[in-house]
């Protein structure tokens, strides 16, 4: 990699992530892991579908489920994941009650643990021939059914599946669709225990995801996921939107985001220097890490998470920024007040299916649900709902 690396040991103590930095020596050449050429499209590019989990959402935030499907279904098909027929019936009832046509939603009965499908769902790449490829990265949160979902859904989609040998949570990987990847230095992959391992990891990310360059940013200090989608997004191949805090709101993260923005401004795209637009970050003084960049792109529509209880002037400014960055697009807001309390928003609970092509007709969910009460009783309710936090992991940053 081009940049010198820094190691950070992150330890969760009393709810606070502590980071310890020390300089590293550059690693040697990576081991060959094969050639898996393809291109990860930008989310602003044409999409053939959107993956959305019904699990947890239809019970905890049914209006959020309805709001998302009602806005998206006219733009592209929605693939709604259910665990069993009970969830299937509940979801269909919600859609019927709100006059949403059921033929725009494909229900897929695939076992999964949580609603955070962005982090564990399949990444769809475009091969050199233009056909879709599924990339299946590891998922280290201890949620085995989430980790198995890409493999479980692959036979239905009938596209090649390529396992990725490391953990990559989808919320911590953004792309401009033109061979540039952006992530933070946070990783939950326990196999990465040294600078050399991390160098191999980044080279594998480049090779498997089809990147020519990977920019590693600093994660927000104190934000529990460490993911890049909590403060950045690409509205086009030559533009990135990066969050900004005021000194009064959060001086430490204000300086951190300024450094991240400056690093991205050094990137060169086919259209010249990467254009960096700053967007205000909502308050987190109450311990809730709100964001305006955790958005959904849906073929000419962008859905922005909004929080009616905070400064409406700030939200209007965020809308204006997206309208300027996406001329001709419809910009709409979806209330994410409930879900953000679990450390995720709209982007976190969906997965763009990009160049996947025509979607199949999935088998009808079974008539009777499986008894998963014993499994659920073993998992605390807050753990099931919360997005995967940094707990005891190793992370690396560019300097």
pLDDT in tens, 259-313: 999 999 999 999 899 999 999 999 999 999 999 999 999 999 999 999 998 888 9
Q: Which residue has the tokens 């910009």?
A: 331
User: Taking the mean position of all CA atoms in its chain, how far away is CA 217?
Assistant: 15
Lowest mean pLDDT among 45-54, 173-182, 218-227, 384-393: 384-393
User: What are the strands, taking DSSP E only, across 237-365?
Assistant: 239-244, 268-269, 272-273, 275-280, 296-297, 301-306, 330-335, 350-352
Summarize pLDDT for 305-344 with one digit per residue, the tens. 999 988 889 999 999 999 999 999 999 999 999 999 999 9
Q: At what angle do helices 85-97 and 62-72 cross, to 10 degrees?
A: 70
Q: What are phi and psi of 254, to 5 degrees?
A: -60, -45
Residue 37 is predicted with a pLDDT of 67
Residue 17 has pLDDT above 90, yes or no: no
Mean pLDDT across the chain, nearest whole number? Answer: 85
| Beta strand pairing call for 78-82 and 50-53 | parallel
Domains of the chain: 5-26+35-388 (3.75.10.10)
Question: Please, which pLDDT band fits residue 216 given cuts at 50, 70 and 90?
Answer: very high
Q: Calculate the CA 359 to chain-centre distance.
A: 21
**Does residue 36 surpass a pLDDT of 70?**
no
Residue 341: DSSP 8-state:
G
Sign of CA dihedral 107, 296, 393, 389: negative
**Do residues 64 and 342 make contact, with C-beta atoms less than 8 angstroms apart?**
no
**Looking at residue 387, what is its pLDDT?**
61
Handedness of CA 230, 235, 237, 242 (dihedral sign): negative
Q: Which two tokens stand for residue 397?
A: 């940053």
Q: Tell me, what's the pLDDT at 360? A: 83
Question: What residues have CB less than 8 Å from 186, skipping those under 6 apart?
Answer: 10, 172, 219, 225, 226, 227, 390, 393, 395
**DSSP H or E stretch at residue 197:** helix 195-209
State the Cα–Cα distance between residues 246 and 19, nearest whole angstrom. Answer: 22
Give residue 276's pLDDT: 98
Higher-confidence position of 331 and 398: 331
């Amino acid at each position: 990699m081009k940049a010198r690396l820094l190691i950070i040991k992150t330890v969760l103590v009393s709810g606070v992530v502590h980071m310890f930095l020390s300089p590293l020596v550059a690693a040697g050449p990576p081991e060959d892991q094969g050639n898996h050429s393809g291109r990860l499209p930008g989310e602003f590019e044409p999409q053939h579908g959107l993956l959305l989990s019904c699990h947890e959402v239809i019970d905890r935030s049914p209006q959020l489920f309805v709001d998302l499907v009602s806005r998206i279904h006219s733009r592209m098909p929605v693939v709604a994941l259910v665990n069993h027929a009970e969830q299937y019936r509940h979801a269909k009832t919600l859609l019927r009650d709100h006059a949403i046509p059921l033929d725009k939603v494909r229900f897929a009965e695939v076992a999964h643990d949580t609603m955070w499908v962005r982090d564990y769902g399949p990444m769809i790449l475009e091969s050199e021939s233009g056909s879709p490829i599924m990339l299946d990265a590891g998922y280290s949160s201890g949620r085995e059914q989430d980790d198995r979902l890409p493999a479980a859904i692959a036979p239905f989609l009938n596209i090649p599946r390529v396992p990725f040998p490391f953990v990559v949570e989808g919320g911590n990987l953004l792309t401009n669709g033109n061979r540039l990847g952006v992530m933070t230095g946070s990783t939950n992959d326990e196999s990465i225990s040294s600078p050399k391992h991390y160098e191999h990891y980044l080279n594998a990310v480049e090779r498997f995801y089809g990147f020519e360059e990977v920019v590693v940013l600093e994660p927000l200090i104190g934000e529990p996921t460490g993911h890049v989608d909590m403060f950045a997004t690409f509205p086009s191949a030559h533009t990135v939107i990066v969050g900004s805090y005021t000194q009064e709101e959060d001086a430490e993260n204000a300086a951190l985001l300024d450094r991240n923005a400056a690093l991205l401004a050094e990137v060169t795209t086919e259209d010249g220097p990467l254009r960096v637009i700053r967007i205000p970050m909502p308050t987190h003084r109450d311990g809730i890490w709100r964001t305006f960049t955790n958005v959904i792109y849906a073929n000419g529509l962008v859905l922005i998470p909004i929080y009616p209880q905070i400064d409406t002037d700030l939200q209007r400014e965020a809308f204006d920024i997206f309208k300027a960055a996406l001329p001709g697009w419809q910009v709409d807001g979806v209330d994410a007040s409930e879900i953000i309390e679990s450390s995720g928003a709209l982007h976190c609970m969906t997965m763009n299916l990009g160049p996947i092509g025509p979607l199949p007709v999935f088998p009808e969910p079974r008539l009777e649900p499986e008894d998963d009460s014993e499994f659920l009783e073993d998992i605390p309710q807050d753990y099931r709902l919360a997005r995967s936090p940094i707990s005891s992991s190793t992370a690396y940053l560019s300097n």
